[in-house]
Structure 1
Amino acid sequence: MTNAGSQDTGFQLPPNSIRSLLQNPFERRTLVEKLQVKELGPDQPDIKIRQQASEKGKTYMRGFSCNWYNRKAWLAGCSHVNAVFCFPCLLFKTAGTDTTWTVTGVKDMKHLSEKIKKHECTRAHMENTVKLAMLGRVNIATQLDEGHRIGVRKHNEEVDKNRHILSKIIDCVKFCGAFELALRGHNETESSDNPGVFRGLVDLVASLDSVLDEHLKTATVFKGTSKTVQNELLDCMLSVLKDYILEEVKNADYLAIQADETTDISTHCQLVLVLRYIDIHNDVQERFFEFIPLQNATADTIATALLGRLSTILPEGQEGRLIAQAYDGAAVMRGATGGVQRKVKDVYENAHYVHCYAHQLNLIMQQATSHIPRISTFFSDLGGFAAFFSRSFKRTAVLDQVVARRLPGTSTTRWNFHSRAVNTVYEHKDDLLRCFQTIRDSGNFDPPTVREAGGFVRMLEDEDFCFFLALFHKIMPHVDMLFNQLQKRNIDSVYITGIIQRFTNSMQTIRDSIPSLREEHSGSVQQQPTKKRRTLGQGEQQRLATEVCDTILSHAKERFSFTKHLISATLLQGDLFPEHTVKFPDSALETTVEAYPMLNKAKLKTELTLIYENNEFKACSGALTLFQFFMENNLQGTFTETVSLLRILITTPMTTAESERCFSTLKRIKTFLRNTMTQDRLNALAMLSMEKKLIRNIPDFNNRVIERFATQKDRRAKFLYK
């Protein structure tokens, strides 16, 4: 029995006391602390329990006797709650243990003898008693045993071999994922002549690796090429990549998300999620994170799915780090009251909405073409050229012979709307005219073909069609140039402002030159021997051409105008520095601090004033260039607020082209595999394809996957070292 000093009345509880074990459970303690508790044994203070009981009309008092400690060595007491406990069960708490003996304690003295007998007979009590008796003995004994050391060495040698084999199989899975090749063949049996790319690749590696070759020939427990192992490896790879990306996000100051929904070839609605941030090396990263399955494409469904993922990416208390969200132009995404962006902003107040600028360009061109009936008809007629030749090899043969150039198809889903078709028809207009005349005069074609060819001849001789063809031939190069610039990944709001201004200036120049374009077109018409058809007057042609240019200009200014939170980009726009030197942009600074309250207004103003007055900073063309200048010259500690603002501007996505790239990869993966995949398998294959560079840069990627694979469940094959 322990002495009175072990009672629960001191400033520091003894490690074996009941109160100490309840406050600091035994399983959380180190091996040294556990051995100390075992050596001390159960705490057995003198418990003052007095209970009044009645039996056969007589009343008497019952109490706890310390003799019980001598009779049952496993009993422990607590004077604080005046109850007795089972010491082994309190330490190990095996499943099935009666919580009365481990949590509340036994206080019923009348039935104490019966309770003790019943508890001693339970399996849980016996198991816990054996565990306490063997604690610290097995490890010491086995470590001293030579046979044990030999067994450990052999085990580790087998682990080395198994990990080498699994690493080679992982390499094969990575290769197939990187090049979007199907992991499974139609017939993977040993006798199959075409077992699939994955099995063929494994066999190729085995022919170069004797260890893998022997394993494939002799393995009975674990071969590593089954569908189950493939799925488990893909799951482990996805987990490793996601953990790495989340670690990068954890170290980033700010985060932006890009999301869009699409439907795969199985008509399943998918939401793609891309994360944008600046990593610890000060590089801008856009990481594909996952495809999220959706039941439908409503705002509530999409917002719920997004918020669920964001809660795991940004822990509670870090909501302010999400500074931007980018989607496409659909009303369900951009709605000001019930759209996805509004629902996300209600939770993440700094997550300002950014419309994809490349989508904006598409909307502008659609507005300029589809909303003007005469222009809409022109593009419908233009689309007929490619359709005419695509229906017949015989027609295409004449096209190749006369024009020596194929006609590109037009598609409203292309962001550079009909550009190639306009340029090709304009540049080869005379050749196409001869081609259609050849078809009409050859006598080798059926009447419908001859009739359609005649329609195209009249179209190419139509003065209105030729005028609009010349107009859009001037407009489209600027659209193409803007589209290509908007697709760059490392662009920022400062860079966007400059290229949009150049685009609008070009459109204004074309608008001003419409009269000269009309005169130039009329001159070329008079030189043609064929009489031209005209349905519109010169004034009407110029009016429509002016309307097209005005529509593009007005929508460009409206759709590309900075929203409130993007006014901050003007603070760091290099060509405005001279103007800011004369008059500081106080209103833009107020708006910036209101949008991003984490910035220190007074210090930011001081830093910006110095930047505006220093000529060396005026050469910086964009936010990314200026940010790199600060980092390369170790000025981030001096210009703390400016660097924070630059991080915000750079993290804010100006395009969702990355999401669209994910969509095309999704379609390629589904097409190549041609089978039904689980969502985890789809996510893993997409990740392997789109983040192949990241996989190469992760140190010990294969070892991380093997560790995850080995601990996923109990495996008969050995992958963990002793």
Structure 2
Amino acid sequence: TRRNFRLNSRADQHLTFTWCAHIQVEKHNETVKQNRAFLNRLIDVTSLLDRQELSFRGHDESSTSSNKGNYRKFTETLSKYDSVLATQFQSSAVFSGMSHSIQNDLISALAATVSDEIRDEIQAAPFFGWQVDETTDIACCTQLSVIVRYVDSAGKIQERFIGFFDVSEGRDTQSVFEVLNENMQGYNFKDKLVAQTYDGAAVMASALNGRKVKAIAPSAMFVHCYAHRLNLVLSQGAKCLSESRIFFASLSGFATFFSKSTKRTSFLESADKTMDDDTLDCAKGFVMKLDDFEFVFMLYTYEQIFSETDVVFDIVQQRPMDVLFCKKRRSEGAFQAIYDKAASLTSDPCDEPMRKRRLSQLQDPKERYRNLYMAILKCLMEQIPLRFSNLESLRFLELVNPGKFADMRDVFPEEAFQSLLKNMELDSAMPQLYKLLSLVATIGATSAGVERSFSCLKRLKSYTSNTMGQGRLSSLALLAIERTLVKFLEKTPTWYDKVTDHFLKKERRAEFTFK
């Protein structure tokens, strides 16, 4: 009987302990549920501010401040209509979610979740290429911007922003390579990288020429930005002749003359004749330039050149541009048309009024300007093979010449074709053709995509927020630039859980894990 009594007592104690443990678990899980619900709302506020590129913090966030910053004001306003926020603000002494460190952790968690999605898309893609460019921000830090280009599982070309990386301490070839190698390891670039595109002014393009990257990623062909190649053709072509250098120096004087004085600018707009003596003296000098035949001749010549190259610039800066189309435009547009137009405007220099010059008596003025014109074109033409020398390695692009697809678009609209490709699983039925098309689409012709990130950088890191940390800057930029992807991910059922998992990688005082 005693033994039975002891057994019953132990059983009762066990049941009591089990029940108490159950109550504690339920209480714990209820707290976790409330904390996660509160955290979900903070995630929404953080995501909204990120996507809209709004500042988070205020100069004074004390309780008496009239402007506590967007993050605090948004959450306080929402708490008027949301019981979860209101309850947490009133009762929680552990986790209010308002500290600067919590804000930074939420931003990092959101960015990490988006980066994971980009990484998964790249893993599913057959190839990818990267575009790299650099710029100097408002704090005089050199920021390296990286964008990846690939064809996703739906057959659409994607250009995704990876981040900004501070390379102020070393802008040489080795330093930039180490930054890329370190930060792109998670993207399996050694096996999947097929193209590397750099700005024409970057150290990677001039010194490295892609060799270091190609040493560890053998399939990564080097593609110099074609928009910048054209720019280099024009700039180098304008420097090769003394007449060209003098012409552009004189031409820049016009802009300087008007830009340094609002009065002169107003005069230009209203033709006001009341000017001081110094201004009139400068203006007379420019009038004499406009009467000089050589200056006018050069003006007409470069007007014809730039009228053609402006069209090419507009084309190569467009996002859908590919290498083959750049090559086609460069070869067919050429400079023969420029010569014909300029020659028709300046065919007879003797008909234009000109002052006496110290010309050689053995040289006809018309012949001299003809030689000058031909020399300008020659300098430009000599620059083309130097800047577009590797087009032969891209001859395979002719296999899928997009110029031949124009007539088919009316018969097969793009959306219908994409649907047919996916629904009929033609990508798996013709895998080699699909890989070829993906390869062609992955090779970018320009770094115009990466340059778009610089405008976001200027908005995020301004004079009023020039001390922003590098990690915060890169995360904010990622969420702002990839706002469409963020909106898509927010609609997925696992969005909050994924962000929370990244948020919990740091130890938290509040409870967020269910038992």
Name the TM tier (shorter chain).
0.7 to 0.9
Alpha-carbon shift at residue 361 of structure 1 (Å) = 1.3
Instruction: Pick from 464, 467, 470 the counterpart of residue 294 of structure 2.
Output: 464
Partner of 1:717: 510
Partner of 1:299: 173
* Kept after mapping to 1: 8 A contact 2:304/2:341: no
Once the two structures are superposed, residues 269-313 of structure 1 have per-residue CA deviations (whole angstroms, 9 ceiling, x without a partner) of 332222111111111111111222332111111122222233332
* Kept after mapping to 1: 8 A contact 2:129/2:442: yes
Instruction: Pick from 196, 200, 204 the counterpart of residue 329 of structure 1.
Output: 200
Whole-angstrom CA distance in 1 between matches of 2:291 and 2:142: 47
Once the two structures are superposed, residues 485-511 of structure 1 have per-residue CA deviations (whole angstroms, 9 ceiling, x without a partner) of 11122232333233223431xx21121
Whole-angstrom CA distance in 2 between matches of 1:634 and 1:398: 67
Whole-angstrom CA distance in 1 between matches of 2:137 and 2:202: 21
Instruction: Pick from 422, 435, 452 the counterpart of residue 661 of structure 1.
Output: 452
Whole-angstrom CA distance in 2 between matches of 1:213 and 1:392: 57
Partner of 1:248: 121
What is the aligned-residue identity percentage?
Answer: 33
Whole-angstrom CA distance in 2 between matches of 1:142 and 1:518: 105
Whole-angstrom CA distance in 1 between matches of 2:27 and 2:239: 75
Instruction: Pick from 182, 187, 191 the counterpart of residue 60 of structure 2.
Output: 187
Partner of 1:694: 485
Partner of 1:312: 186
Instruction: Pick from 252, 264, 268 the counterpart of residue 137 of structure 2.
Output: 264
Alpha-carbon shift at residue 187 of structure 1 (Å) = 1.1
Aligned CA distance change for structure 1 residues 628 and 480 (closer, same or farther; 3 Å): farther
Alpha-carbon shift at residue 252 of structure 1 (Å) = 0.9
Aligned CA distance change for structure 1 residues 266 and 331 (closer, same or farther; 3 Å): closer
Does 2:164 correspond to 1:276? Answer: no
Whole-angstrom CA distance in 1 between matches of 2:232 and 2:371: 22
* Kept after mapping to 2: 8 A contact 1:500/1:560: no
Does 2:386 correspond to 1:512? Answer: no
Whole-angstrom CA distance in 2 between matches of 1:478 and 1:142: 88
Partner of 2:319: 489
Once the two structures are superposed, residues 603-659 of structure 1 have per-residue CA deviations (whole angstroms, 9 ceiling, x without a partner) of xxxxxxxxxxxxx998589xx989969836654345432221221111112111122
**Secondary structure of the structure 2 residue equivalent to 1:636:** helix
* Kept after mapping to 2: 8 A contact 1:574/1:618: no
Alpha-carbon shift at residue 228 of structure 1 (Å) = 0.8
Q: Give the 5 Å matches for 1:328-367.
A: 328-330=199-201, 332-334=203-205, 339=208, 341-367=210-236
Give the RMSD, CA atoms, in angstroms.
Answer: 3.2
**Secondary structure of the structure 2 residue equivalent to 1:281:** coil
* Kept after mapping to 1: 8 A contact 2:47/2:110: no
**Secondary structure of the structure 2 residue equivalent to 1:513:** helix
Partner of 1:379: 248
Alpha-carbon shift at residue 359 of structure 1 (Å) = 1.0
* Kept after mapping to 1: 8 A contact 2:312/2:329: yes
Does 2:27 correspond to 1:233? Answer: no
How many residue pairs were aligned? 489
Partner of 2:7: none
Whole-angstrom CA distance in 2 between matches of 1:142 and 1:271: 62
Instruction: Pick from 436, 444, 466 the counterpart of residue 675 of structure 1.
Output: 466
Whole-angstrom CA distance in 2 between matches of 1:368 and 1:702: 56
Once the two structures are superposed, residues 308-349 of structure 1 have per-residue CA deviations (whole angstroms, 9 ceiling, x without a partner) of 2333321xxx733211111123584246xx726111111111
Does 2:368 correspond to 1:540? Answer: yes
Does 2:49 correspond to 1:161? Answer: no
Alpha-carbon shift at residue 223 of structure 1 (Å) = 1.5
Q: Give the 5 Å matches for 1:419-568.
A: 438=273, 442=274, 444-445=275-276, 447-504=277-334, 507-519=335-347, 533=355, 535=357, 537-568=365-396
**Secondary structure of the structure 1 residue equivalent to 2:461:** helix
Task: Specify the code of the residue in structure 1 equivalent to 2:295.
Answer: F
Whole-angstrom CA distance in 1 between matches of 2:17 and 2:474: 45
Task: Specify the code of the residue in structure 2 equivalent to 1:631.
Answer: L
**Secondary structure of the structure 2 residue equivalent to 1:191:** coil
Partner of 1:602: none
Task: Specify the code of the residue in structure 2 equivalent to 1:453.
Answer: A
Alpha-carbon shift at residue 154 of structure 1 (Å) = 4.3
Partner of 2:46: 173
Instruction: Pick from 405, 421, 427 the counterpart of residue 636 of structure 1.
Output: 427
Once the two structures are superposed, residues 345-403 of structure 1 have per-residue CA deviations (whole angstroms, 9 ceiling, x without a partner) of 1111111111011111110110221222222222222222232222222222222213x
Once the two structures are superposed, residues 70-127 of structure 1 have per-residue CA deviations (whole angstroms, 9 ceiling, x without a partner) of xxxxxxxxxxxxxxxxxxxxxxxxxxxxxxxxxxxxxxxxxxxxxxxxxxxxxxxxxx
**Secondary structure of the structure 2 residue equivalent to 1:677:** coil
* Kept after mapping to 1: 8 A contact 2:138/2:463: no
Whole-angstrom CA distance in 2 between matches of 1:478 and 1:141: 88
Task: Specify the code of the residue in structure 1 equivalent to 2:473.
Answer: L
Whole-angstrom CA distance in 1 between matches of 2:257 and 2:17: 84
**Secondary structure of the structure 2 residue equivalent to 1:187:** coil
Q: Give the 5 Å matches for 1:192-207.
A: 192-207=65-80
Whole-angstrom CA distance in 1 between matches of 2:441 and 2:230: 21
- For structure 2, list consecutive stretches of 5 or more residues without a partner in the other structure: 1-10, 360-364
Task: Specify the code of the residue in structure 2 equivalent to 1:701.
Answer: W
* Kept after mapping to 2: 8 A contact 1:272/1:291: yes
Q: Which moved more, 1:488-497 or 1:633-642?
A: 633-642
Whole-angstrom CA distance in 1 between matches of 2:456 and 2:399: 38
Whole-angstrom CA distance in 1 between matches of 2:69 and 2:333: 50
Aligned CA distance change for structure 1 residues 556 and 639 (closer, same or farther; 3 Å): farther
